[in-house]
Chain A
């Protein structure tokens, strides 16, 4: 029997591995991190002691990780970067680098659980050291027991800001501002979702309790719109604006801090699925995700997808999808196993919660009004708003792909992972047109999944 190959060791990948192995399929689990758990259950090495302090539900994660480690049918390839993936004649070929050595894996059966990363919006000064993503601040706490700085502003939009602020407080930092751009009352738009997802409500109350004990008051309808550096070149203060629902600025104040953790939800990491040719779609929040059928199968037969890459929805939805993907893949390789009604019901419930999230935390286009001519859009290639305007006004670019080619915007080392989405919105707004799905797909698809040194390939291992 062929292996079921799973990429990603977070909530979706772990759940898929256990489901597939329990159904009798041998599993190869490939993870880029040195330790399983993904970003959600990011764990440091053992010598850091108990980590429950930095997690709301670490026990579920430890249970899954231990179960994966205990199963003989699951082989784990960790610290492994996939740099290239191709699909031809029903075979998926993954080129993986682990400890400087390349391995080539051919498989008919894949489950992609490649997760998501913070969505960062550009603003004047967002490249100053000290401006970070909330996920970055959290990964330092969870993975390395390091507080990014003493005075932290947490801002942007989405429920993820709460655990990040909680983590900072628990590590002894001061959350000087906790700013949610949207109004909390937007949850009233989805009245039944909270009642059927009590675990989420409990989680939110836990964070609010910790945060209020530290005398931090969350402010709604406010956002960080500019950052300023001190004489040492590092972050010294941020401008905080009261914003309208559109995100347009009403009034501004300045606050001193040495870290600003700013995030606007998440962007699915669809690079691998895109390279294989899995059909993508644009989600309601404007992000590109991978299309999946009711069995978590992508448009490619035998390639299944689960977790954040099918739509941002959090760890619980990822686990529900992971189980179904694991069972589907096991079935695909010939195991006698069925997806139960209860599996689908669980996924549907978590999906309703994910839909409510998008409704409650929209990111309106008013952020475009925060930018000045000299604001960097592409951090890697140092491309400014003015450079993009020149490409449009003087060089005749009429879509984001052309603007990108003319300016190198999104063509640096991160390959547009950070700015790609914003460039599409910015160029469309300058041209006074709506961005097309093709614009959005081309901003996230890249031939090289993870940049690697050319010398490694030249060695021909």
Chain B
């Protein structure tokens, strides 16, 4: 397998990734399992279905909320944040 070739941030911390990986995949590879907290119970959620069906892996991507981490390809310099509730 090829080596890490790009860098992005998750809640301000640097994370390495490989071109072509989704945000969710890159974060799981970095052992970041909690991607958001729910709006009512503030409970932790992460990647569940992995294919864009369940909307559980929502993160904030460069300031835009409700983005599915499992579908969006990670890009160098992206600023990803844990989504708190609906972040609205």
Interface residues of A (CB under 8 A from B): 32, 34, 39, 44-45, 47-49, 117-118, 120, 127-133, 135-140, 143-149, 229, 232-235, 258, 269, 379-380, 382, 412-414, 417-418, 451
CB-CB < 8 A to B39: which residues of A? 382
- Identify B48's interface contact among A44, A49, A136, A413, CB under 8 A: A136
- Is B1 part of the contact surface with A, judged by Cβ < 8 Å? yes
CB-CB < 8 A to B48: which residues of A? 120, 127, 131-133, 136, 379, 418
4 nearest CB pairs, A to B: A136-B50, A129-B46, A45-B20, A144-B25
- Is B79 part of the contact surface with A, judged by Cβ < 8 Å? no
- Residues A145 and B34 in contact in the complex (CB < 8 Å), given A118-B49, A129-B44, A136-B51: no
Interface residues of B (CB under 8 A from A): 1-2, 18-22, 24-26, 28-29, 33-35, 38-41, 43-56, 58, 66, 70, 73
CB-CB < 8 A to B44: which residues of A? 128-129, 229, 233-234
User: In the complex the two chains form, is A146's CB within 8 Å of B25's CB?
Assistant: yes
CB-CB < 8 A to A133: which residues of B? 48-50
User: In the complex the two chains form, is B46's CB within 8 Å of A130's CB?
Assistant: yes
Chain A interface SS verdict (over half): loop
- Residues A418 and B49 in contact in the complex (CB < 8 Å), given A127-B43, A234-B34, A379-B56: yes
Distance A258 CA – B33 CA, assembled complex (angstroms):
10
- Identify A140's interface contact among B28, B33, B38, CB under 8 A: B28
Distance A139 CA – B25 CA, assembled complex (angstroms):
9
User: In the complex the two chains form, is B73's CB within 8 Å of A140's CB?
Assistant: no
User: In the complex the two chains form, is A117's CB within 8 Å of B53's CB?
Assistant: yes
- Residues A414 and B55 in contact in the complex (CB < 8 Å), given A48-B18, A140-B28: yes
Instruction: Output the least CB separation between B45 and chain A (Å).
Output: 6
CB-CB < 8 A to B52: which residues of A? 32
17 sample A-B contacts, Cβ–Cβ < 8 Å, listed by A number: A39-B51, A45-B19, A47-B20, A49-B2, A117-B49, A136-B47, A139-B50, A140-B24, A140-B47, A144-B25, A146-B21, A146-B28, A148-B47, A234-B46, A269-B53, A382-B43, A412-B55
